[in-house]
Structure 1
Amino acid sequence: MTLLSALMLFVSGFVAGSINAVAGGGTFITFGAMTLIGIPPISANATSSISQFPGYITSTLAYWTDIKRMWRGGLLLAFVSIVGALAGSLILLALDNPSFRAIVPWLLLGATALFAVGPWLKPKGEAHRERPLVGAVIQFITAVYGGFFGAGMGIMMLATLGLTETGDYHKLNALKNMLSIVVAAVAIIVFASGGVVTWLAAVIMVPAVALGGYFGVWSAKRVPQLAVRIFVIAVGLFLTVYYFF
């Protein structure tokens, strides 16, 4: 890896951490940077999951008081998340890079569209009624997607939890953060066991993501979220066109 490539990965990690703290969507940045310097898409996807993992932990700790009150109710969702993430990550490992590369533009297009409409998908107020079995099925599908390709998983999960769980936005966001740890942890174990992680890239990006997350909290009060969202959507569309052509 050249010094320029390492610098690009560090900057992308920092930007991703900052964006996640403000609006979400940092996976687009890290995945895109790795593919642009020549890392195969499967390895880029797996390594991006690892680089984002510390952010899931810190965001969950921020909701620790809420999670202590509701973790028992989330056990079923955590279990199906484990099964779904395992299925999704194993499906990814079953593909070769050319096959995954053919799917990537469609995944990016869908994730970008999901990110673009994210503000309208966020639950507002109380959900009508709790539907645990329906919620478990939907969470399983979301976890399969998250294990296979993590971009947009948080937005998707927050939207689906709002349809099947009771509680205000903060409770649902806390539950989403906790389940994201479960999905990401399973995917990381599978990817590491499958030997598809580019560890040098992960080592470069993890501290950069952490620093970016700290900076993002500061910048969240100064940078309009709309500007950040437009930037992330533009990156997603650029990567979509890049992989299509």
Structure 2
Amino acid sequence: MPILDAVLLFLAGFLSGAVNAVAGGGTFLTFGAMTLAGLPPIVANATSSVTQFPGYITSTLAYWHDIKHFWRGALLLSLISALGALSGALILLGLDNPSFRALVPWLLVAATALFAAGPWLKPAPKPEHEAAVGSLVGSLAQFATAVYGGFFGAGMGVMMLATLGLTQSGDYHRLNALKNMLAVVIAAVAILVFVSGGVIAWLQAIIMIPGGALGGYAGVWIARRVPQNAVRGFVIAVGLFLAFYYFDKG
């Protein structure tokens, strides 16, 4: 691997961890860096899932106090999420790179719009009580979100928080904890499918993961000094750049 590509991947991992800690949207950076480094889009997408996974784990552990009060009630949503992620990941592996490449700019535009709308999609505070599994509508919404997460994943957190806010009970922190827990399930199932399909670029992932860990730590420093709107604007600009890049290549 050229040294410049290695530096690009490490920096993308670092920035991804930092922006995830502040505003979310790190997937745009990891996917984009691997694309610019010459990886096929399906491999870049699958490998990005691996690089983001440690962050999902640490975010979930940070909410463990909340999760331990409702995890039994969320098992059904976890099963639904696993089935949805399995479906989405298998759909991705069923495509060839040219077919997926044609979809990527549209996926990026949709994910960027979703990310940009994130502050307006956050659920309103509700009286604090246990997050429940909810209705059939909530289960179907979570399945659809998990399919998207297994297939592409950028903007999944915003989408899931919005749908959970409409269909589940609990205050914002409980919903965010539930979102993090389900994101771990979705990512874990998708990664297992991608590993079995042989579409993970392990060298690139190994370079990016330490950068992401350092970036997540640095995100605390960044959050105290850089306005969140500036970070969100940077992520949106990256998403739009990647979308136009793929439109141009198509």
TM tier relative to shorter chain: over 0.9
Residue deviations 1:9-43 (CA, integer Å, cap 9, x gap)? 00000000000000000000000000011000000
Q: Which residue of 2 aligns with 1:46?
A: 46
1:205 equivalent in alignment to 2:208? yes
In the aligned structure 1, how far is the partner of 2:18 from the partner of 2:103? 28
1:229 equivalent in alignment to 2:228? no
| Superposed displacement of residue 132, structure 1 | 2.7
1:142 equivalent in alignment to 2:160? no
Matching of residues 92-171 of structure 1 within 5 Å: 92-126=92-126, 131-171=134-174
Counterpart AA for 1:188: I
1:58 equivalent in alignment to 2:58? yes
Name the count of aligned residue pairs.
244
| Superposed displacement of residue 202, structure 1 | 0.4
| Superposed displacement of residue 139, structure 1 | 0.3
Q: Which residue of 2 aligns with 1:77?
A: 77
Q: Which residue of 1 aligns with 2:190?
A: 187
In the aligned structure 1, how far is the partner of 2:136 from the partner of 2:61? 27
In the aligned structure 1, how far is the partner of 2:170 from the partner of 2:125? 7
**Which of the residues 223, 241, 246 maps onto 1:243?**
246
Residue deviations 1:166-212 (CA, integer Å, cap 9, x gap)? 11110000000000000000000000000000000000011110110
Q: Which residue of 1 aligns with 2:67?
A: 67
- Aligned residues with identical type, % of pairs: 72
Counterpart AA for 1:89: A
Q: Which residue of 2 aligns with 1:23?
A: 23
Q: Which residue of 1 aligns with 2:35?
A: 35
| Superposed displacement of residue 118, structure 1 | 0.4
In the aligned structure 2, how far is the partner of 1:37 from the partner of 1:77? 37
In the aligned structure 1, how far is the partner of 2:137 from the partner of 2:153? 22
In the aligned structure 1, how far is the partner of 2:76 from the partner of 2:221? 36
Moved over 3 A (4+): none
What is the TM-score normalised by the length of structure 2?
A: 0.96
In the aligned structure 2, how far is the partner of 1:124 from the partner of 1:208? 34
Q: Which residue of 1 aligns with 2:221?
A: 218
| Superposed displacement of residue 133, structure 1 | 1.8
Query: Secondary structure of 1:221's partner?
Result: helix
Residue deviations 1:201-240 (CA, integer Å, cap 9, x gap)? 0000111101100100221111100000100000000000
In the aligned structure 2, how far is the partner of 1:201 from the partner of 1:76? 35
In the aligned structure 2, how far is the partner of 1:85 from the partner of 1:208? 26
Q: Which residue of 2 aligns with 1:2?
A: 2
In the aligned structure 1, how far is the partner of 2:86 from the partner of 2:183? 13
Structure 1, unmatched stretches of 5+, are: none
